[in-house]
Amino acid sequence: MPTRDLKEKIRILFAEDVLIHHRMSVEILRKENIIFDFALVETREDFIAALGDFNPDLVITDYQMPSFTGMEALQLTLAYDPSIPVIILTASISEDVAVECMRLGATNYVLKENLIRLPFSVNEAIKKKLAQIENNKAILALMESESKLHTITTAAGDAIVMMDNQGLISFWNPAATLIFGYTEQEAIGKALHTLITPPEFYQQFADNFPKFQVTGQGNAIGQTQELEAMRKDGSRLYISLNLSAVKIKSQWHAVGLIADITTRKKAARELIAAKQKAESSDRLKSAFINNISHEVRTPLNGIIGFADLVTKPDISDEEKLSFITMIKASSKRLLDTMTSYMDISMIVTGNMQVQQKPFDLHHFLKRMFDQHIPMCDIKNLKLNLQLPNLSDSLVINDDKSIYTKVFSHLLDNAVKFTREGAISFGYTRQGDQNHFFVTDTGVGIRDEIQPVIFEQFMQEEETNTRAFDGSGLGLSIVQGLVRLLGGEVGLASEKGRGTTFFFHIPCEEVFEKNIQAAPIPSQEKRAGKPVILVAEDDEANYLFLKTVLRRLGYEVIWASDGHVAVQMAEEHPELSLILMDIKMPEMDGFTATKLIKSTRPDLPIIAVTAFAMSGDEQKATDAGCNDYIAKPIMEDRLIQKISSFLKP
């Protein structure tokens, strides 16, 4: 090194009990052309001896060793020579360990899994030691020669500030101007602490300064402190302050070496934030795995178990009907769970799209009422729909499917968590916004849970004995969907007395005269049964559709991929409708639809998909499909779709 105080070949004392880690450290340093001699110890006694015998320029110590810790090595080094830099190696990124080591005087710490940073930390430590040596020389030069002082302090990278016995600034170098923004003329003669110290620390200085005036001693004298300071423009920064007491003409003065460490502090905060984010991500992953395991396996157990029982020859028709009912209930629960996982995934990744179309809000809410009446009747709950006295209908331009998901989650929750009483839902009109609400007289939510109830996988009861099933995603989905529509959601709840969820959404009203029904493709009268082409590559799905369609009086033909579907549409002019699966080998359903529509534009095509993602319906429409249905296909839903085009 370019000074006699630090040798050309630096001396590094390693405290490490794992030889392979030591060899890796040495190899990485040498690879970066750092020239050094080293000594390796693994016990406290050998470490103490090496401090005197080896006389290291730098200490690199493992944080955890069998006989002593890196914290002890740090304390022993500072007691022997406070100017020796100490770098801590640790196998884990513990915030407490990092903060404590740095507070006690460690120069830096490096993760063993990120040893590539070690050469940077070593170079930085040596540079700091050189800077400290130079700064110490600068202080000596201050008392010996004004000319030397001017040369050294002007060239110094750190601020050098001197305070007299009255607390006034008597010296201010160019680096101090760069850091704090005050020129030398503006700073000289001003009270140091009122110039660069935040107001909340004024009293602390006032309490300690009289002792320094008399004794030259104080809490900050002789040690490095990291403090918050203020610039001329009022902005705040973090500084490293090394304060020394100097007696001049029987009075105590103080010389401070100040470095701007704002960038380093920011990097440390970002590191901690990254650690917290990683821990949060791990917790979320664990919650996801635990939830999906429980919420998928539980209904699967009912489906598989009752499907096996229903085939037994010795069960009665009544038992068979009961088992089939349980299979359907478990299947619905499994479908709801998977839909929730898909929805939250699309919300989080930003793939959920809003498809705005005019729809009658009152008709929609009445349909939600009809759908939930059976659930309320089973639990003897009263269900109320409250609409403003505006008119019999209100047509708005928005995404009806998102409204359906939001109200389904909120109403399902209301029914689930209400044992007796009533559930009310509806909206009020305020300006250009609709204010929706769902109110129940259920169990309510504790005050401490309410601020986090919209978080993913959040449930008031998280133990294995919780009274209600569910994935804990419903409310986070509701919040994500409402925000997607430009609104916000909130709640008011009292434990044991019920809950109200409310949300407001900007609303664009549409005059009914501007709404035009989508044209239904014309169908020629054909003799015999209508013929439906099922384009589906999965044989089980085809057999299901064939069974349902033939029971309804339709003829069915099968295409196992998109190419075959296009060919059959050309060869069978008697076709009345196509059920087109979207994902098929050879050619997908969208491509096949475009080709068929180019020659037979009046042939109705209903898209069928297992993805059921937001935006799929629009893609189907853009490809030329006349309608859209998502798997799993419910028989009544399929009948409704087909009957809008055909009569058997």
| CATH number of the domain residue 165 falls in | 3.30.450.20
* CA separation for the pair 5, 20 (Å, rounded): 32
The residue whose two tokens read 């209930």 is 329
- Which secondary-structure segment (H or E) carries 236? strand 236-248
Does 323 or 467 have the greater pLDDT score?
A: 323
DSSP assignment of 445-471 equals --TTTGGGTTSTT--S--STT-SS---
d(CA 518, CA 180): 70
Out of 88-92, 404-408, 510-514, the most confident range is 404-408
| Model pLDDT, residue 5 | 46
| DSSP result, 513-568 | GG--PPPPPP----SSS-EEEEE-S-HHHHHHHHHHHHHTT-EEEEESSHHHHHHH
What per-residue confidence (pLDDT) applies to 171? 87
Q: Which of 110, 111, 51 is nearest to 75 (CA)?
A: 51
pLDDT of 12 over the 80 cut: yes
> CA 508 to CA 519: how far, in whole Å?
24
pLDDT of residue 518: 44
Better-predicted residue by pLDDT, 269 or 367: 367
DSSP string for residues in 14-69: EE-S-HHHHHHHHHHHHHTT--EEEEEE-SHHHHHHHHHHT--SEEEEESB-SS-B
Which residues sit opposite 385 in a β-bridge? 425
The answer to whether position 392 is within a domain reads yes
For the chain, state the CA radius of gyration. 38
One domain for residues 254 and 285: no
Number of H helices, E strands in the chain: 20, 22
For 442-457, the pLDDT digits (tens) are: 998 888 888 878 775 5
Residues 370 and 508 in one domain: yes
Phi then psi for 536, rounded to 5 degrees?
-155, 125
205 and 164 housed in the same domain:
yes
| Mean pLDDT in residue range 160-177 | 87
Q: Is residue 283 part of a domain?
A: yes
Segment 607-617, tens digit of pLDDT: 988 655 555 66
Q: What is the pTM of this model?
A: 0.46
- Give the range of the structural domain holding residue 596, as residue numbers without chain letter: 531-643
Answer for the pair 254, 212: CB distance below 8 angstroms, yes or no.
Answer: yes
Q: Find residue 380's DSSP bridge partners.
A: none
DSSP 501: E
Q: Does any domain span residue 145?
A: no
Is residue 110 in a domain? yes
Q: Which two tokens stand for residue 606?
A: 């209903």
d(CA 19, CA 22): 5
Please say if the pLDDT value at position 524 is more than 60: no
Q: How confident is the model at residue 310 (pLDDT cuts 50, 70, 90)?
A: confident
Is 506 part of a structural domain of the chain?
yes
Residue 163's pLDDT is 86
Q: 155 vs 216, which has greater pLDDT?
A: 216
What pairs with residue 260 in β-bridges? 239
Q: How many CB atoms lie within 10 A of CB 223?
A: 12
Q: 183-197, 248-262, 339-353, 418-432: which has the minimum mean pLDDT?
A: 339-353
Calculate ∠ Cα 625-630-636, nearest 5°.
100
Tokens (6 digits) for 488:
């916000």
Domain count within the chain: 5
Domain co-membership, 484 together with 379: yes
Which CATH number characterizes residue 630's domain?
Answer: 3.40.50.2300
Q: Give the domain CATH number at 428.
A: 3.30.565.10
Q: Is the pLDDT of residue 22 over 50?
A: yes
Does residue 286 sit in the same domain as residue 253? no
What is the rounded average pLDDT of the residues 306-322?
A: 83
* DSSP percent split of the chain into helix, strand, coil, nearest 5: 45, 20, 30
Classify the phi-psi angles of 279: left when phi > 0, otherwise alpha if psi is within -120 to 50, otherwise beta.
alpha
Strands 488-494 and 433-440: unpaired
Residue type, 574: E
Residue 393 has pLDDT above 80, yes or no: no
**Least-confidence region, from 15-19, 277-281, 380-384:** 277-281
Name the DSSP class of 509: B
Residue type, 264: R
Rounded to an integer, the average pLDDT of 499-518 is 68
* Same-domain check for residues 582 and 600: yes
Instruction: Give percent of the chain with pLDDT exceeding 70.
Output: 84
Q: What average pLDDT score do residues 546-567 get?
A: 90
DSSP 345-362: HHHHHT------EEEEHH
Order of strands, sheet of 224-230, starting from the edge strand that comes earlier in the sequence = 169-172, 159-163, 251-260, 236-248, 224-230
If asked whether residues 373 and 498 sit together in one domain, one would say: yes
Q: Are 113 and 192 within one domain?
A: no
Strand order in the sheet with 605-609: 555-559, 531-535, 575-581, 605-609, 627-630
CATH number of 324's domain: 1.10.287.130
Residue at a domain's end among 90, 115, 131: 131
Structural domain contains residue 142: no
pLDDT for residue 141 is more than 70: no
Q: 203: how many CB neighbours lie within 10 A of its CB?
A: 9
User: Rounded to an integer, what distance in angstroms lies between the CA atom of residue 393 and that of residue 403?
Assistant: 16
Q: Which of 157-166, 564-573, 605-614 has the least mean pLDDT?
A: 605-614
Q: Which amino acid is at 393?
A: S
β partners of residue 429: 434
> Given 260, 289, 308, which residue is the final one in a domain?
260
Write out the H or E segment, with its range, that includes residue 204. helix 202-215
For the ranges 212-216, 523-527, 530-534, 624-628, the maximum mean pLDDT occurs at 530-534
The residue out of 447, 481, 514 marking a domain boundary is 514
Rounded distance between C-alpha atoms, residue 531 and residue 550, angstroms: 10
- Comparing CA positions, the residue from 111, 133, 120, 129 lying closest to residue 34 is 120
pLDDT digits (tens, 9 = 90+) for 233-247: 989 888 888 888 888
Query: Is 442 in the same domain as 386?
Result: yes
Highest mean pLDDT: which range of 107-111, 142-146, 194-198, 413-417: 413-417
In-domain check, residue 490: yes
Please say if the pLDDT value at position 391 is more than 80: no
- The CA distance from 505 to 437, in Å, is 11
> What's the mean pLDDT when you consider all of the chain?
81
- Give mean pLDDT, residues 330-343: 74
Instruction: Based on the fold, state whether residues 98 and 236 are members of the same structural domain.
Output: no
Q: Quick one: pLDDT at residue 45?
A: 93
Choice between 57 and 523, residue whose per-residue pLDDT is larger: 57
Q: 601 and 453 share a domain? A: no
Please tell me the total number of residues recorded for the chain in this structure: 648
Highest mean pLDDT range out of 267-281, 323-337, 458-472? 323-337
191 secondary structure, DSSP code: B
More confident residue, 113 or 98: 113
Same domain, 547 and 498: no
Q: Which one is predicted more confidently, 452 or 386?
A: 386
Residue 523, domain member (yes or no): no
Cβ-contact 21, 112 below 8 angstroms: yes
| CA distances for 125 relative to 59, 145, 261, 360, 466, angstroms | 10, 29, 15, 71, 55
Lowest mean pLDDT among 147-151, 238-242, 262-266: 147-151
Tell me which of 174-178, 265-269, 639-643 is least confident: 265-269
pLDDT of residue 505: 86
- Write the pLDDT tens digit of every residue in 453-497: 877 555 444 443 344 444 567 788 888 889 888 889 999 998 888
Q: Which is higher by pLDDT, 209 or 579?
A: 579
Q: Look at residue 4 and tell me whether its pLDDT is greater than 70.
A: no
- What does the pLDDT average to over 553-570? 91
pLDDT of residue 167: 85
Average confidence (pLDDT) over 417-428: 92
User: How large a percentage of the chain has pLDDT more than 90?
Assistant: 23
Q: Say if residue 153's pLDDT is above 90.
A: no
